[in-house]
C-alpha cells in the first residue's frame, strides 16, 4: 500500500525530521526492521529493545538505500526520518491501518503446535482458487504480525496469518491487528507452562483469537479442533461469548470428520475425511496423524468458504511438508540411501510423542529405525517427568536405535530397554561425523527431533540434507 508522507506521518503520529521531501511516496510492502537485511527502496523501522536501539543503524540503512526511517531518535541527523514516541507501536499502527483497508477474506490461525504448517497448507490450498497472501515464515508475534500486515497484497482475495503466544493477553493484542473473518484454533497442548497456573489457562489464552473476529459479508466464523483439550468447556463457549454463531469443528469427533489415516510404503499418508455423510480420500505427502489433522483442518476452511472440496483435496495432496517440520527426504551416504524424517524445527512433549508414533507407522520393510532426540525446552519444572514420558514411548516403539542429545536426554535413555541401542551425547559436537562414518547403514529410517536452539539437532538434519538429498 502506498502513502504520501503526510498520510504516513498521520498514521504513525510522527514528526518529520532531518529534512524530507514532502512529496515522498512510500510503499508499506517494503518494510524492514533489520538493517542487515535491508534492500534498496525499503522503509526502515528502527525498533528499540532492552538489548539495542535500532536508531544506531539508521545511517547504515540509508547507505543501503532505505527511503525512510521510522525511529524514536535520530542520533546522526540523517535525512528522511519520521520521529515517533514508540517505534514498535508505530509499526503496529501501520500494520493495523493497512489491514483496515484490505477488502479480502482474512483467516487467523493459532494453536500450540504446527501453526506455520497449518498456515502454509491453507494458503497452498486457497491458491488453487485465487491469489492468496500469507505471512512470511513463523513471523507470528508482536513484531512479525504487523510486519506481515504491512506487506498485505491487495490483489489477493485471501490472506492467511498465524498468531503465537507464550503469555496470556498476547493473542488478544495480535488479533486486534489481524481482525480475521475466520479464526481457528488447531490444537491445545501444555506448552509454556512456566507462564500459566494451569493447563486450562492456555486454552483461554488461545481462545483470545475469537475476540476480534470481524464480519465478511455478514459472516463471522470459528473453526475449532473438536479433539482438542478444553474444546467443550473453553474454546466453543469462548467463541460463542464473542457472538460467533458459525462454529465449524474438525477432527475425529468433528463436523469435518477425520475418519482414518494410514502411512503406505511410499511414505505418503492416505487420509479419509467425511462431510455430512459423504466420504473423501486423498494421499498426503505429510506423515501420520498430525498431517492428517492438518489436511482435515484445511478442508474445514474450504468448507467454510464454500469451495469445491475435491479441488481443495487435490491442492492439499500436492503440499510438501516444510523443512524441519516433518519433511521426508532420501539422502545418499557413501553409496547407500537412508530415509530422513526431518522434524527438527522444535520439540515439545506432545509433538515429540506424535513424531515417534508417526515413525512407528512407517513400514520397516527390513530397515532399522533410528530416533535422534534432542532435549525439550519450555516445560519448566516438568522437565524430568516429560523426558521420561518420551523415553517410555520410545521403549515400547519399534525404534532400534535411540540417540539422546542434551543433558536432559539422559532421562529419556533411562527408560529405554537394553534390547535397543542407546547412545548419549552431551551435545551435537562430533555426532554428524559419527553418524555418517559408523552409525548409519543402508535403508535406515531416521527421525530427527528436538528443541531448536537448545538441542541444535536441526544442524544434523541440515548437514545430512547437504550431503545428497534426492
For the chain, percent helix, then strand, then coil, each to nearest 5?
35, 25, 40
Closest CA to 281 of 116, 249, 361, 264: 264
**pTM for this prediction:** 0.88
Q: How many angstroms separate the Cα of 350 from the Cα of each of 94, 168, 189, 263?
A: 37, 21, 7, 20
Q: Encode the chain (470 residues) as per-residue pLDDT tens digits.
A: 898 888 999 999 999 997 887 788 999 999 999 999 999 999 999 999 888 899 999 999 999 999 999 999 999 999 999 999 999 999 999 999 999 999 999 999 999 988 999 999 999 999 999 999 998 888 999 999 999 999 999 999 999 999 999 899 999 999 999 999 999 999 998 877 778 889 999 999 999 999 999 999 999 999 999 999 999 999 999 999 999 999 999 999 999 999 999 887 777 788 999 999 999 998 877 778 888 999 999 999 999 999 999 999 999 999 988 888 888 889 999 889 999 999 998 888 888 998 998 899 888 888 999 999 999 987 778 889 999 999 999 999 999 999 999 999 999 999 999 999 999 999 999 999 999 999 999 999 999 999 888 899 999 999 999 886 55
Element (H or E) spanning 147, and its range? Answer: helix 144-150
Element (H or E) spanning 291, and its range? Answer: helix 288-304
Q: 333, 436 in Cβ contact below 8 A?
A: yes
Q: How many angstroms separate the Cα of 348 from the Cα of each of 26, 122, 183, 352, 428?
A: 42, 24, 24, 6, 19
pLDDT in the model for residue 255: 98
pLDDT in the model for residue 469: 57
pLDDT in the model for residue 161: 98
Cell numbers at residue 411, please?
532421562
Sequence-ordered strand ranges (E) for 221-318: 221-225, 246-251, 256-263, 269-275, 278-284
Q: Which residues are within 8 A (CB) of 50 and not within 5 positions of it... i.e. 6 or more apart?
A: none
Strands 81-83 and 15-17: antiparallel
**φ/ψ (deg, to 5) at 359:** -60, -40
Q: 426, 374 in Cβ contact below 8 A?
A: no
Q: 95, 147 in Cβ contact below 8 A?
A: yes
pLDDT in the model for residue 468: 61
Q: 172, 178 in Cβ contact below 8 A?
A: no
pLDDT in the model for residue 402: 98
Closest CA to 372 of 389, 355, 388: 355
Cell numbers at residue 170, please?
498476547
pLDDT in the model for residue 263: 82
Whole-number Å distance between alpha carbons of 211 and 306: 24
Whole-number Å distance between alpha carbons of 403 and 314: 38
pLDDT in the model for residue 195: 84
Q: 272, 260 in Cβ contact below 8 A?
A: yes
Whole-number Å distance between alpha carbons of 375 and 381: 14
pLDDT in the model for residue 22: 77
pLDDT in the model for residue 455: 93
Whole-number Å distance between alpha carbons of 365 and 265: 8
DSSP per position, 200-241: HHHHHHHGGGGTT---BTTB-EEEEETTSTTIIIIIHHHHHH
| Buried-exposed string 288-302: b where 16+ CB fall within 10 A, e elsewhere | bbbbbbbbbbbbbbb
Radius of gyration of the chain (CA): 24
pLDDT in the model for residue 470: 53
Cell numbers at residue 108, please?
487467523
pLDDT in the model for residue 3: 87
Amino acid at each position: 500500500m502506498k502513502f504520501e508522507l503526510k498520510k504516513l506521518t498521520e498514521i504513525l503520529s510522527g514528526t518529520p525530521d532531518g529534512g524530507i521531501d514532502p512529496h515522498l511516496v512510500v510503499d508499506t510492502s517494503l518494510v524492514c526492521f533489520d538493517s542487515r537485511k535491508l534492500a534498496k527502496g525499503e522503509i526502515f523501522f528502527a525498533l528499540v529493545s532492552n538489548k539495542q536501539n535500532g536508531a544506531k543503524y539508521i545511517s547504515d540503512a540509508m547507505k543501503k538505500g532505505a527511503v525512510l526511517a521510522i525511529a524514536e531518535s535520530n542520533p546522526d541527523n540523517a535525512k528522511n526520518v519520521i520521529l515517533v514516541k514508540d517505534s514498535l507501536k508505530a509499526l503496529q499502527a501501520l500494520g493495523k491501518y493497512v489491514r483496515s483497508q484490505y477488502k479480502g477474506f482474512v483467516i487467523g490461525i493459532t494453536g500450540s503446535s504446527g501453526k506455520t504448517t497449518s498456515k502454509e497448507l491453507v494458503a497452498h490450498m486457497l491458491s488453487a482458487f485465487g491469489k492468496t497472501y500469507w505471512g512470511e515464515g513463523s513471523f507470528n508475534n508482536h513484531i512479525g504480525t504487523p510486519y506481515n500486515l504491512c506487506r498485505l497484497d491487495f490483489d489477493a482475495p485471501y490472506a492467511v496469518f498465524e498468531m503465537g503466544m507464550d503469555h496470556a493477553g498476547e493473542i488478544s493484542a495480535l488479533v486486534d491487528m489481524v481482525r480475521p473473518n475466520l479464526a481457528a484454533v488447531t490444537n491445545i497442548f501444555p506448552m509454556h507452562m512456566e507462564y500459566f497456573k494451569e493447563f486450562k489457562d492456555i486454552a483461554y489464552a488461545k481462545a483470545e483469537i475469537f475476540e476480534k473476529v470481524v464480519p465478511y459479508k455478514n459472516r463471522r466464523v470459528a473453526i475449532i479442533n473438536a479433539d482438542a483439550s478444553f474444546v467443550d468447556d473453553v474454546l466453543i463457549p469462548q467463541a460463542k461469548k464473542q457472538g460467533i454463531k458459525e462454529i465449524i469443528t474438525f477432527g475425529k469427533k468433528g463436523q469435518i470428520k477425520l475418519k482414518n489415516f494410514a502411512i503406505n510404503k511410499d511414505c505418503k499418508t492416505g487420509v479419509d475425511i467425511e462431510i455430512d455423510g459423504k466420504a473423501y480420500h486423498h494421499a498426503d505427502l505429510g506423515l501420520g496423524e498430525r498431517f492428517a489433522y492438518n489436511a482435515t483442518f484445511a478442508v474445514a476452511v474450504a468448507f467454510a468458504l464454500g469451495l469445491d472440496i475435491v479441488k481443495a483435496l487435490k491442492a492439499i495432496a500436492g503440499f510438501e511438508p516444510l523443512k524441519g517440520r516433518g519433511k521426508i527426504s532420501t539422502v545418499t551416504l557413501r553409496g547407500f540411501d537412508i530415509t530422513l524424517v526431518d522434524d527438527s524445527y522444535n520439540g515439545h512433549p506432545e509433538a515429540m510423542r506424535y513424531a515417534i508414533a508417526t515413525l512407528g507407522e512407517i513400514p520397516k520393510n527390513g530397515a532399522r529405525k533410528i530416533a535422534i532426540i534432542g532435549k525439550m525446552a519450555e516445560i519448566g519444572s516438568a522437565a524430568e517427568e516429560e523426558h521420561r514420558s518420551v523415553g517410555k514411548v520410545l521403549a515400547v516403539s519399534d525404534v532400534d536405535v535411540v540417540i539422546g542429545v542434551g543433558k536432559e536426554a539422559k532421562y529419556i535413555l533411562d527408560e529405554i530397554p537394553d534390547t535397543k541401542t542407546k547412545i548419549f551425547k552431551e551435545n551435537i559436537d562430533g555426532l554428524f561425523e559419527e553418524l555418517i562414518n559408523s552409525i548409519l547403514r543402508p535403508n535406515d529410517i531416521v527421525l530427527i527431533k528436538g528443541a531448536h536452539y537448545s538441542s541444535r539437532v536441526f544442524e544434523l538434519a541440515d548437514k545430512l540434507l547437504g550431503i545428497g538429498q534426492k
